Structure 1
Amino acid sequence: MTPTPSHRVLVNDEEQYAIVPAHFPAPTGWREAGHQSDAASCETWVDQHWEDIRPRGVREAADQP
């Protein structure tokens, strides 16, 4: 039997990630990122997927000439 995930990863519109306990509801402005597991696995997943920690708006502004 697979254990119930204890945590999940959320992402917001600025492409920032958060790890929250699995039973917490997603706050306004946040949605499921698609990974649920124990906290350590969630942290590893975020490390692999969050390549640039600057908010999306800041990255886009920096790309403007």
Structure 2
Amino acid sequence: MSTSCFDREDESFIVLVNHEDQYSIWPHWKAVPGGWKAVDGIQGDKKTVLDYVEKTWTDMRPKSLRDWMARQENAQPAATAD
């Protein structure tokens, strides 16, 4: 049974982010997949990059959903007290 590069403890990873502000880790030597970009200056062992993702990606909702929800909230008429 082969081991994935994602399972290796001695692998070096980078952090990726997409247009929806969603994060992933990726082996540093693999080409960055379409639709993703590397986060500048973030590279290291699995624990290091996962710690960065955990601290940075605090809202799991896609950016488009957060933006839509904000527009809906701003469009709501103000509640009035009777």
Range into which the TM-score falls when normalised by the shorter chain: 0.7 to 0.9
Answer yes or no: is 1:10 the counterpart of 2:40: no
Answer yes or no: is 1:54 the counterpart of 2:78: no
Answer yes or no: is 1:24 the counterpart of 2:52: no
Question: Which structure is higher in RCO with an 8 Å CA cutoff and minimum separation 6?
Answer: 1
Scaled by the length of structure 1, what TM-score is found? 0.87
4+ runs deviating over 3 angstroms: none
Instruction: Tell me which protein shows more strand as a share of its residues.
Output: 1
Q: CA RMSD in A?
A: 1.2
Give, as a single letter, the amino acid of the residue that structure 1 aligns with 2:38.
E
When Rg is computed on C-alpha atoms for both structures, the one with the higher figure is 2
- Superposed displacement of residue 51, structure 1: 1.6
- Superposed displacement of residue 23, structure 1: 0.9
Scaled by the length of structure 2, what TM-score is found? 0.70
- Structure 1 residue runs of 5 or longer lacking an equivalent are none
